Amino acid sequence: MSQEENFEGNIIQNYDFTNELCSWHFNCCDAYVVGQTSGEPIRVTAKSGSSYAVVTNRTETWHGLEQDLSDRVSPGCIYLVSACVRVGRCSGASCSVQATLRLENNSTTDYVFIGRIEASEEKWEQLEGEFVLNTKPDRVVLYFEGPPPGVDLLIDSVLAIPSSHKQLEASLVPKLEKNIIEDHNFVGTTSSVTTTAGESILKNPRFDDGLKNWSGRGCKIFLRGSEGDETIHPYKGKRVFACTGDRCHTWNGIEQEITEQVQRKLAYEMTCVVRLCEASSDSDVQATLWVQYPSGREDYISIAKERASSVEWTRLRGKFLINGRPSRVVIFLEGPPSGTDFLIARFKVKRAKKLQSLRPHALERVVFGENIIKNSSLEDELFGWHVMGSCTLRLCHGSPMLLPHLAKDSLGHHLRLSGRYILATDRSQNWMGPAQTITGRVLPHTTYQVSAWVRVGPVSSGPQDVNVALCVGGSRWVNGGRIQVNDSQWHEIAGSFRLETSAEVAVFLQGPAPGVDLMVAGLNIFAVDRVSRFAFLQRQTDMVRKRDVVVSLQGGANQHMWVKVRQVKNSFPFGACLSRSALDNEDLVDFFLENFNWAVFANELKWAHTEPERGAQNYDDADEMLAFCERHGIPARAHCLFWEVEETLPVWVRSLSQPDLSAAVRDRVDSLLAKYRGRFRHLDVNNEMLHGSFFKDRLGGPAAWAHMFDLAHKADPSLALFVNDYNVEDGNDPASSPEAYARHVVELQENGAQVGGVGIQCHIDSPVGPTIAAALDRLGELGLPVWLTEVDVAAAEEHVRAEDLEVVLREAYAHPAVGGIMLWGFWETAVWRENSHLVNAEGEVNAAGQRLLDLKKEWMTVVEGAADADGEFRFRGFHGSYVIEVDGTTHSFDVDHGDSPLTVEISL
């Protein structure tokens, strides 16, 4: 039977390899077909029942099999892709197999991720995904890649079908009852393979056996069907679901004990499909793990949280890891308010897949030092510009003649503008303004910096937002920079963005209230040249973090003696966030102790953790963590005494009257700081005062904040008292711009607060070095130590994450105002933001983690050479502890901060 008869609409030619490798090409490797038509013995049962392709002699992960689809794809159509894959010669390990689309346009090439799956020698796996093209490239190639070099890739039954067709159902590809392996290249013996790999460790995950193995957590559970109930639509054909009933608390839900099924220090993935019952307001549904230890200690580990509704099904997906040796483990769903019930279609937990690292994205085509905005200076009037919305654009004169400050390093300090600007009037919506299409000028995986002059017309309604935004693919909005202005002066707006795929892109200016005029001049968008910036920062680091040292050899024949100098410790504070449960994981602890010299606690000192109910104080977790730090000689930051954002506070605190709240504040200071007096180095007094106002509104304005500092200082004068806030360094949040943050600190000081340090959280995406440096410059003017207190960068691709992390770390380490850097976690499942980890859950260092290790190695001094005729050996080294070896003896010394050379005398 022909391919067309089997799978109508499939655009893959020779999809089951019955015509050998016709229409297929192998990329930098070899391939052959095994099956009836080739005369080769079938060593592995083909998924299609006849033939399959084997890709071999692979020397790179991207070597694989490909097919040109150029004349068979149409823009705007969604194509569903499916292929049966397997690997060989992999020594029993599983390997990632990926389907990718290569888009070629003249001299440019883009790559689109389609799907990825873990495959093994034991059985066929079905790789699935989809793609859509916004425009038609010159050439479209589908290819398969992924396993490590030397591992064979097996492929069968490749489908790519427009989504309007229904042929891409799992039933079209027969499932094998057995997977027989008969070749020594794969296993070595003939055997029948039965495996539970990939199966859910939860019993009865789809409720096919009713509610067997499930129970209600403080509530009832029962089965409910959609048959005859128009308020519930089926989920993928499934019509019977588990349902909660009589929920009296947010923690009520459905649960299953998995004590016997889970192993410590192994990563698990959870997926769950839920929806609220009819006529319910949208609310969060959360998957949580309850872990109890033999000592009686309990942990509640949040796995995933999503906003659910009563009109559609919502998928929760998350990952968890158990660090310690528990006596009981229960997984459950919770979250909606009391009285709101929810349905569960399925609830699965599987061993987490190990995704193989892909090669870094090539950036050869990126042009640096070039503005991608056409007619930016408006010398060709409004050519290239169009209006977003129904407002009016006019060309005017009188804008700044110089480039915005943050664009000068990349585009030229002496480049002058024309003095012309675009005026947008008759704006009836805040999103209306000037726009320009930049499709084809923005390359994926490249960080772009945004800089412009902006101004608003006369206003009487208070401060106005101005935003550089991007419309991507006609439906997605990306923030490229944001500022708040409250006058009619010109202001610099700065920001950044990065797109992961090629798409239609338009950039536009928006933000002020309807009726307020918007003006823009000198809009610049340009690729960030990180390589050149890093070279500058290395020179800056050499000046800021090093000192000249003269080793003077005293006594004996000291001329021309060979000297070896090795740094054993860098004294710069480089720390990370820890949680109590993390201390149970020996591998995590070893990585922390080897690579960090400061600590901060994630939640264990927060008010909601230490006193969830009034008077029920519990510092057990903090006690254990602080004892751990002191045992290993690691200084610690106390985070945090108060938190100005209302929803972060204990429920009982939020309901207090003004007198009771004042008393509770004093009690909080007394209980925490008296207990730990002299044991912490820093204290975040009131977290995120730029983004919250709970205590300020209830206790007397900014003077209440200063009073908190006064109470903390009196309770423990040894503490450096910090402010701590977020979005300070990225140019995208007017509430916490560097200038706003500096004014905030000055106001605190004017009210009597003894501010001892400025904390920048630095949860950042697409970081731009000059923007970070400008923020550090402004805050450094306060004369206080500036710490990056909660650093993380999030990117799904670990190589991109590595580049982003290097930007942040180099900028901070090279800046003289920075006194320390703290990462907000580093271990997967123990980080706050998804895709921000440096080490995966089972201890493997990824590309971002390796970049950290490489930087720390770079920032250690190792030198050797001969002393001169005066018995002196000179070098310039990083601050820290050293060991010197000369004439068979070893000596220790420290290099501290100082402008003049340090002389170290060594007696021989």
Residues sharing a CB contact under 8 Å with residue 615, sequence separation 6 or more, in sequence order: none
**For residue 693, what are its two tokens?**
């106002």
Collect all residues with Cβ–Cβ distance below 8 Å to 502 and sequence separation of at least 6: 103, 110, 112, 134, 443, 444
Q: Any bridge partners for residue 392, and if so which?
A: 425
Is residue 240 within 8 A of residue 223, CB to CB? The reply is yes
Name the residue among 54, 38, 48 with its Cα closest to residue 15. Answer: 48
Q: Contact 257/201 with Cβ under 8 angstroms? A: no
Q: Which two tokens stand for residue 442?
A: 């923005």
Whole-number CA gyration radius for the chain: 31
Q: Phi and psi dihedrals of 566, rounded to 5?
A: -135, 125
DSSP state of 148: P
- Say how many Å lie between the first and final Cα of the chain, rounded: 90
Long-range residue pairs from 376-383, CB within 8 A, at least 24 positions apart, any chain: 376/522, 376/523, 376/524, 377/417, 377/418, 377/420, 377/522, 378/418, 378/420, 378/421, 378/422, 378/521, 379/418, 379/420, 382/422
Q: What are the structure tokens assigned to 456, written together?
A: 């608003």
CA distances from 356 to 117, 437, 442, 661 (A): 10, 36, 28, 52
The residues near 647 (Cβ < 8 Å, ≥ 6 apart) are none
Omega before 640 within 30 of 0, i.e. cis: yes
How many H-runs (helices) and E-runs (strands) does the chain carry?
A: 14, 50
Active site residue 278: no
Q: Rounded distance, CA 619 to CA 802, Å?
A: 36
Of the residues 334, 790, 803, 811, only one is catalytic, namely 790
Is beta strand 518-527 parallel, antiparallel or unpaired with respect to 420-425?
antiparallel
Distance CA 642, CA 619 (A): 16
Q: Tally the C-alpha atoms within 13 A of residue 462's C-alpha that lie toward its C-beta.
A: 0
3-state SS assignment for residue 64: strand
Q: Would you say 146 and 98 are in contact if contact means Cβ atoms under 8 Å apart?
A: yes
State yes or no: is 834 an active-site residue. Answer: no
Q: Are the beta carbons of 240 and 228 closer than 8 angstroms?
A: no
SS3 category, 186: coil
Antiparallel, parallel or unpaired: β 267-276 and 342-351: antiparallel
Residue 547 makes CB contacts below 8 A (sequence gap 6+) with: 876, 877, 879, 895, 896, 897, 898, 901, 902
How many angstroms separate the CA atoms of 192 and 187, rounded? 11
DSSP assignment letter at 795 = -
Count of alpha carbons within 13 angstroms of residue 788, beta-carbon side: 33
Q: How buried is residue 20: exposed, middle or buried, by Cβ count under 10 Å (0-12/13-18/19+)?
A: middle
Alpha-carbon distance of 821 to 596, in angstroms, equals 10
Q: How many residues appear in the chain?
A: 908
Looking at 688, 729, 806, 811, which residue is catalytic? 688
**Residue 555 carries which DSSP code?**
S
Residue 680: Cβ-neighbour burial (10 angstroms; 0-12, 13-18, 19+): buried
DSSP 355: P
- Show which residues are catalytic: 688, 790
